[in-house]
Amino acid sequence: MNTITAPDRLTSVSTIVKNALILTMDGSHSVIENGAIAIREDKIAAIGTTESILAKYTSEQTIDAGDCIVIPGLINAHTHIPMTYFKGLADDLPLNPWLNDYIWPMEKIFVEPETDEAHDFVYYATLHGAAEMLRNGITFANDMYFKGEDMARAFIKAGVRCIIGEPLIENGKETNLKDIGKLALSLRKQYKDSPLLDFSLAPHAIYTNPRDVLVRCAEVAREQDMLVHMHISEADWEPKQCLDEHGKLPIPYLQEIGLLKTPLIMAHGIHVTEGEMELLAESGAAIAICTESNLKLVNGFAPIRKYLQHKVRICFGTDGVASNNNLDLLSELDFTAKLHKALAKDPTFLPAEQMLRMATVEAAKALHKDKDIGSLEPGKKADLVILDCSGVEAQPLHNPYSQVIYALGGRAVRDVIIHGEVVLKDKKLTRLDEAELVGKAKEYRAKIRKELNL
């Protein structure tokens, strides 16, 4: 005869999240009402209804997610997190004065030198940005910036996943081709036991690197099975310049070089032809679209409808906060969906579920990490976000996907779990001291303004 399961028959796990409306983003599009997730150490052990999970598992820690939606951790597919302290430094300017008068001079002073001060700048700016990502439900970033070793320390401290790529800007330099990839490989070796980190090769763009550097990047990426992260066709002059200098449009040029045979993600992709899209689709290369940054710097709109028609894999990034100016990927998704509905004159285009898929499971595929992350399924890493829907702004709740994309925004993020660890609890950072981060940001604000004579 069946009796109630005795507590000593229950399997022990680390954490149970219960009573949630779970958007798993798995291949069957499963939505679990009154659902629960059992987490054992860094992985999801089981997922199901709260009743079924509590009948099988007991946990050291239980998180009640009643009146909450649980989604996989959001993936920021293109960003420059250490630019955090340049947020709002110079806005509403054309690209050239923005770069020449503000960003590059400040990077020259605060980032480039091999001094303790510059290493500290990158470390603290990364911590600050990582904290802001957590607040916005981002658990994984694909980053491109300098001083990767300091970024690595900061991401480990914050408990946030990241692929770090040191930008290669080799035009005008005497590059020893043997050195290409050396830094990324040595960091990969140094951090091989850090499950949150990975490293990419990051040739900044076609126009900032000579051909032989890109050829060598392709060789190293293939030999070492390393992700390549670059910018592509962000400004309207890029395709013409590539055609003039190399006799080919950017994507055929990358194909000739061998980069389309590597795991490749490229940011922006605004000025791309349909012929180029066919090559992208064949190769599996992904485009990380950064709508808000592109609009703010007046670079245009990525042709999302055409990318999807050609079956090019797309995902979304915030870009750096100097050009966005926030790390709220949910608001980026909201804005992108609405803008592209209007451009397509089609309100059915980019439905909310598809947007969330592209910021989670599709982004994980784009970064070649979908074996471990991107959806909530047993065996995958426990990276998830609990969104508070108890307030008036989140009720009534007719459709959870549209609530997540169109109604909630980063302010609804209540708890974040990465690699099985609660890193944001009741909107408080568990690993970082927010007051200390704000204090540091104020210190650096004063230093930056002093340098600019403001």
Which residues of the shown chain bind Zn ion in the complex (CB under 5 A)?
A: 319
Tell me whether residue 150 or residue 319 sits nearer to Zn ion (CB atom). 319
Tell me whether residue 167 or residue 400 sits nearer to Zn ion (CB atom). 167
- Shortest reach from residue 254's CB to Zn ion, in Å: 17
- Cβ burial 304-321 (10 Å sphere, 16+ → b, else e): beebbebebbbbbbbbbb
Tell me whether residue 319 or residue 353 sits nearer to Zn ion (CB atom). 319
- Shortest reach from residue 443's CB to Zn ion, in Å: 26
Q: Which helix (H) or strand (E) holds 228?
A: strand 228-232
Tell me whether residue 132 or residue 319 sits nearer to Zn ion (CB atom). 319
Tell me whether residue 229 or residue 340 sits nearer to Zn ion (CB atom). 229
Q: What six digits make up the tokens of 364?
A: 């994980």
- Shortest reach from residue 266's CB to Zn ion, in Å: 10
Other Cβ atoms less than 10 A from the Cβ of 102: the count is 18
Query: Could you tell me which of 190, 170, 191 has the C-alpha nearest to residue 180?
Result: 170
What gap in Å lies between CA 453 and CA 437, rounded to an integer? 24
- Shortest reach from residue 231's CB to Zn ion, in Å: 6
- The DSSP annotation for 7-21 comes to GGGSEEEEEEEEEEE
- Shortest reach from residue 144's CB to Zn ion, in Å: 6
Query: Could you tell me which of 269, 280, 80 has the C-alpha nearest to residue 164?
Result: 80
Other Cβ atoms less than 10 A from the Cβ of 149: the count is 17
Other Cβ atoms less than 10 A from the Cβ of 175: the count is 16
Tell me whether residue 96 or residue 176 sits nearer to Zn ion (CB atom). 96
Tell me whether residue 292 or residue 388 sits nearer to Zn ion (CB atom). 292
Tell me whether residue 319 or residue 362 sits nearer to Zn ion (CB atom). 319
Determine the 3-state secondary structure of 431 from DSSP: coil
Tell me whether residue 319 or residue 383 sits nearer to Zn ion (CB atom). 319
* Tokens 């939606």, residue located: 69
Tell me whether residue 23 or residue 81 sits nearer to Zn ion (CB atom). 81
What gap in Å lies between CA 452 and CA 101, rounded to an integer? 9
- Shortest reach from residue 234's CB to Zn ion, in Å: 8
What gap in Å lies between CA 165 and CA 176, rounded to an integer? 19
- Shortest reach from residue 280's CB to Zn ion, in Å: 18
Greatest C-alpha distance within the chain? 81
Tell me whether residue 271 or residue 419 sits nearer to Zn ion (CB atom). 271
- Shortest reach from residue 268's CB to Zn ion, in Å: 7
What gap in Å lies between CA 206 and CA 269, rounded to an integer? 12
- The DSSP annotation for 26-64 comes to -TT--EEEEEEEEEETTEEEEEEEHHHHHHHEEEEEEEE
What gap in Å lies between CA 390 and CA 103, rounded to an integer? 41
What gap in Å lies between CA 37 and CA 421, rounded to an integer? 13
Contact residues for 176 (Cβ-Cβ < 8 A; gap 6+): none
Helices then strands, each counted (H, E), the chain: 17, 17
Instruction: Give the end-to-end CA distance of the chain in Å, rounded to a whole number.
Output: 79
